[in-house]
Amino acid sequence: MSTATRPYPIVQDLIESFASWLKHRRELNEIRQLDRADFDRIAQDLRIAPDDLEDLVRHGKHAADELPKMLEQLGISAEGLGRAHPLLLRDMERVCALCSHKGQCDRELADGTAAENYHGFCANASTLESLDRADHASR
């Protein structure tokens, strides 16, 4: 919907943001309703630590949005990496989602300087360095 068809775009954006926040809070509440054994079983099925699962749920579904952008700036195809090494990509998504340097990462990605500077802030830096870019180059 364009601003021409939205008479109050700022208000509409605030309402949509609040609706997303409220939905996320409901999802968190559903997770909290599980007993610890069920929660631990879900974490085990996903092959992650229960504490990591709890953190991932708390951070929400967009917590790893930076990873595909980082891979792109490094010339690595996220799709190709996912086909060749799906578990590695999933682990990288987990690490990205739990990262505490989101602000710096977002700035570097927006400025187009992430490929030069990610070593100093990215929790996936060592994994990114070990990837053979020729095997996963963008096509």
What pLDDT is recorded for position 44?
A: 85
Q: Which residues contact 109 (CB under 8 A, 6 or more apart)?
A: 66, 69, 70, 73
pLDDT range class, residue 132, cuts 50, 70, 90: low
DSSP code, position 76: B
Q: Quick one: tokens of 97?
A: 């989602």
What pLDDT is recorded for position 139?
A: 45
Contact 76, 131 (CB under 8 A): yes
pLDDT range class, residue 4, cuts 50, 70, 90: low
pLDDT range class, residue 135, cuts 50, 70, 90: low
Q: Quick one: tokens of 50?
A: 């229960």
For residue 137, the cross-strand partners are: 76
